[in-house]
Structure 1
Amino acid sequence: MWQGVIPAVSTKFNEDGSLDMGEMERCFGLQMEAGCDGLIACGSLGEGPMLTQDERIAVLRLTKQVTGSKPAILTVAEAGTREACALAEKAAKAGADGLMVVPSTIYHSNHRETIVALRAIAAAGDLPIMIYSNRLAYRVDVTTDMLEELADDARFVAVKESSDDIRRTTEIINRLGQRYDLFTGVDNLAFEALAVGAVGWVAGLVLAFPKETVAIFRLMKEDRQAEALSIYRWFRPLLDLDVSTYLVQNIKLAEAMALGSTERVRAPRLPLEGEQRARAERIIRAAMETRPQLPRFG
């Protein structure tokens, strides 16, 4: 159902902390112009949890305006199942094409609790769902056994695999074949995951470098691995910025330097400063100065 590069877009703010809808529309549009295959709004490791549900729905509506016929997906990552179900219902009414669902972000639910929560959210929204499995960030591992158990519900269509163990991609495919659209959710494992069968990439640094990200994916799909790998090796220092507690600040800094966007974040986050900022700037500047010439692809 879903495949390709689907960025987890960043939320833009005005100086007073309100949503900067104009800048989001501009930046989201750049992703689609580069050939991305949809957008995911209000990411769970991004600033989605810092937004009210009404703000998230507003961002979703804007996202859908930009994606047109391509999917606009809202992240559902709430501490409680009741709140997650309420957001799923609102997203469906607002025109979401699907949901990316994280099990409880606070309570570390066990196998049975995780299954029950995911089924409840699916029923509430009645939309296609990408299950977000990230045991490192949330300590809840949506295992291959769980995916097999959930496979009887056709609303579960995709998995964002972020276990940080590249072997998991092959394990899921070996067990479940093509039952789920399998996405990699770790920027600096993207080439590896695509090489062993992932059909999509929920990307982060794509927000600052969309054309390069799309080129890697398209080249991999055309079995042009050597060309994709050359771009990926250039990209790796940037992609490492996504695997960080400060991924939001890193990505927004990259967007500011590469696209002229803003770095504003919502508290408790603050923009980078000192040596941490200087290091990120060096990585981004070096990448911008050595951007590869992209080959033609279908």
Structure 2
Amino acid sequence: MSMWHGVIPAITTRFNHDGSVDHGFLAEHCAWMLDAGCVGIVPLGSLGEGATLSTAEKQAILQTCVKVAGSNPVIPGIAALSTAEACQMAQIAAAEGCSGLMVLPPYLYSTDWREMQAHMSAVISATELPVMIYNNPVAYRTDFVPSQIAELAQRHANVQAVKESSTDVRRVTAIRAELGQRLEILVGVDDAIVEGIAAGAVGWIAGLVNAFPHESVELFQLAQAVTAGHGDRARLEALYAWFLPLLRLDTVPKFVQLIKLTQAMVGMGSETVRAPRLELVGAEREAAVSVIEQALARRQELWP
């Protein structure tokens, strides 16, 4: 099976009280995800607070993930302020034994296609590793439209997949129209996973999976089965209805804090984030806690 098929957590980064990375928990967390049926790990992404990590910290995280993952792919997010830094990180990932790369546009600089194409091409060409292009115009203000994704795929043989996070599931069919089966398409927005699979996506770079791995894998597999015409639609609808209030936590600016809060409430993580992020407080935290508590209370109905 392709390395891009299935549920692949965009894993969070837990920090110790002194601000250092908690590698003991990171190893435990990776193992929990994989034991639940996830097919790989994506560290150093937006959810992993990659923008706050030093190069040395990123390298150490990759070492931990690769060691735990074994034969499962580790596909780090590659993003930086400069093209040179992104290329360097891609080469570090290759040297540490990662299986592929999730390549993002630059963190801050959003411009025209000529410059974005040059940046992406440089990073894609920095190694021979398989690449998944990450399109998230909501967060990065750079929108790789289907024709541009097709251009990159046609120019670079190692571009194998795209993580589509535009929130528009029509992009899945639009990419298929441009490229047929040339690229694997993965959903990158949690609350569009069922719709994305119905449109033709084969993978899910997931967020709430960090707190609910078994439920995420079941949801993904049910959606695939129903799309193929032999699944339990009633079970899928019930599970999705239960999960959606939680999945929507992945779609707002403070998604990192919200997902880490959810992890803490299920006993698998902590709320600690790195500045400039701050932990949720007051009415904002109370509202999130209410959503999570309601879901946990109803969990027993689906898994007696």
TM-score scaled by length of structure 2:
0.94
**1:30 shift after superposition:** 1.0
Specify whether residues 244 and 141 from structure 1 end up closer, same or farther in structure 2 by C-alpha distance, changes over 3 A only.
same
**1:64 shift after superposition:** 1.3
Specify whether residues 194 and 226 from structure 1 end up closer, same or farther in structure 2 by C-alpha distance, changes over 3 A only.
farther
Amino acid at match of 1:149: E
Matched, 1:276 2:284: yes
**1:260 shift after superposition:** 3.9
> What is the aligned partner in structure 2 of residue 250 from structure 1?
258
Stretches of structure 2 lacking an aligned partner (at least 5 in a row): none
Matched, 1:239 2:242: no
For the residues of structure 2 that align with 1:252 and 1:151, how far apart are their CA atoms? 34
For the residues of structure 2 that align with 1:92 and 1:151, how far apart are their CA atoms? 20
SS at the partner of 1:39? coil
Give deviations 1:262-294, integer Å, cap 9, x for gaps. Answer: 111111111111011111111111111111535
Matched, 1:161 2:161: no
Confirm or deny: 8 A CA contact 1:215 1:294 kept in the other structure. Answer: no
Confirm or deny: 8 A CA contact 2:11 2:47 kept in the other structure. Answer: no
Give 1:219-230 correspondences, 5 Å limit. 219-223=222-226, 224=231, 225-230=233-238
Stretches of structure 1 lacking an aligned partner (at least 5 in a row): none
Aligned equivalent of 1:102, options 96, 101, 104: 104
Amino acid at match of 1:7: P
Amino acid at match of 1:49: A
For the residues of structure 1 that align with 2:141 and 2:48, how far apart are their CA atoms? 17
Confirm or deny: 8 A CA contact 1:91 1:125 kept in the other structure. Answer: no
**1:5 shift after superposition:** 0.3
> What is the aligned partner in structure 1 of residue 145 from structure 2?
143
Amino acid at match of 2:285: R
> What is the aligned partner in structure 2 of residue 90 from structure 1?
92
SS at the partner of 1:18? coil
Give deviations 1:99-140, integer Å, cap 9, x for gaps. Answer: 111111211131121111111111112211110001111111
Amino acid at match of 2:180: G
> What is the aligned partner in structure 2 of residue 10 from structure 1?
12
> What is the aligned partner in structure 1 of residue 209 from structure 2?
206
**1:45 shift after superposition:** 4.9
Amino acid at match of 1:193: G
For the residues of structure 1 that align with 2:167 and 2:269, how far apart are their CA atoms? 30
TM-score scaled by length of structure 1:
0.96
For the residues of structure 1 that align with 2:268 and 2:107, how far apart are their CA atoms? 33
Kindly report the root-mean-square deviation, in angstroms, between the aligned alpha carbons of the 2 structures: 1.4
> What is the aligned partner in structure 2 of residue 289 from structure 1?
297
SS at the partner of 1:158? strand
**1:259 shift after superposition:** 2.6
SS at the partner of 1:259? coil
Confirm or deny: 8 A CA contact 1:79 1:104 kept in the other structure. Answer: yes
SS at the partner of 1:275? helix
Please identify, of 202-211 and 256-265, the stretch whose mean Cα deviation from structure 2 is larger.
256-265
**1:221 shift after superposition:** 2.0
Report how many aligned residue pairs link the two structures.
295
